[in-house]
């Protein structure tokens, strides 16, 4: 990651002026016992199934990824000069640890893997994602998800 001090002064000044939204105080929620938790993955790696529409730059959309997804059907359309895709190409668990969740479920360390997981495009203005975030929250609730792993990329 680049440090602010290493950027050209005009770019650093611009970044310092980007407004940060105040979401107010967050309500405290106790975490569930993981042995009973139904766990979903939420990634910002621009992941989708190979046949799905690719993410456009700055997209506020999300893609559904099934819990029984085969990694051979997993694609990434996140592209940036600042993003190295080679880790994903070597091991998709780096950005979408579904295989690892399945092992945790098989070992009884978590209750269940969710039926559906979600991927967004990283580097999207979060204020543009209010509607889609609400949709995903509703879908997580409908799927009985009690814990989510957030994978920022």
The domain locations on the chain are 33-151
Name, in order, each residue with C-beta under 8 angstroms of 145's C-beta and a sequence gap of 6 or more. Answer: 38, 39, 40, 114
- Which pLDDT score, from 0 to 100, does residue 7 have? 85
Residue 123 is predicted with a pLDDT of 77
Q: What is the pLDDT of residue 63?
A: 96
Q: Give pLDDT < 50 ranges for the chain.
A: none
Beta bridge pairs of residue 148: 40
Looking at residue 80, its pLDDT comes to: 65
Q: Quick one: pLDDT at residue 118?
A: 97
Residue 97, pLDDT score: 94
Measuring CA to CA, which residue among 115, 151, 153, 148 is closest to residue 40?
148
Residue-wise pLDDT for 112-125, tens only, equals 999 999 999 887 88
Q: How far is CA 104 from the centre of its chain?
A: 19
Q: What is the predicted pLDDT for the residue at 39?
A: 97
- Whole-angstrom Cα distance, residue 132 to residue 127? 10
pLDDT of residue 93: 86
In order of 2, 5, 56, 84, 88, the CA distances from 79 in angstroms are: 18, 25, 10, 9, 12
Q: How many CA atoms lie within 13 A of 92 on its CB side?
A: 17
pLDDT of res. 22? 81
Query: What is the model's pLDDT at position 90?
Result: 82
């Amino acid at each position: 990651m680049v440090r602010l001090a290493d950027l050209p002064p005009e770019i650093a000044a611009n970044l310092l002026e980007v407004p940060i939204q105040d979401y107010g105080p967050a309500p405290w929620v106790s975490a569930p016992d993981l042995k009973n938790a139904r766990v979903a993955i939420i990634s910002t790696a621009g992941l989708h199934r190979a046949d799905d529409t690719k993410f456009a730059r700055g997209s506020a959309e999300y893609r559904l990824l099934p819990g029984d997804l085969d990694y051979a059907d997993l694609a990434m359309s996140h592209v940036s000069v600042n993003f190295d895709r080679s880790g994903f190409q070597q091991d998709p668990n780096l950005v979408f640890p579904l295989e690892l969740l399945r092992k945790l479920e098989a070992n009884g360390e978590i209750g269940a893997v969710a039926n559906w997981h979600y991927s967004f495009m990283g580097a999207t203005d979060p204020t543009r994602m209010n509607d889609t975030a609400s949709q995903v929250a509703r879908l997580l609730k409908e799927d009985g998800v009690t814990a989510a792993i957030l994978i920022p990329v």
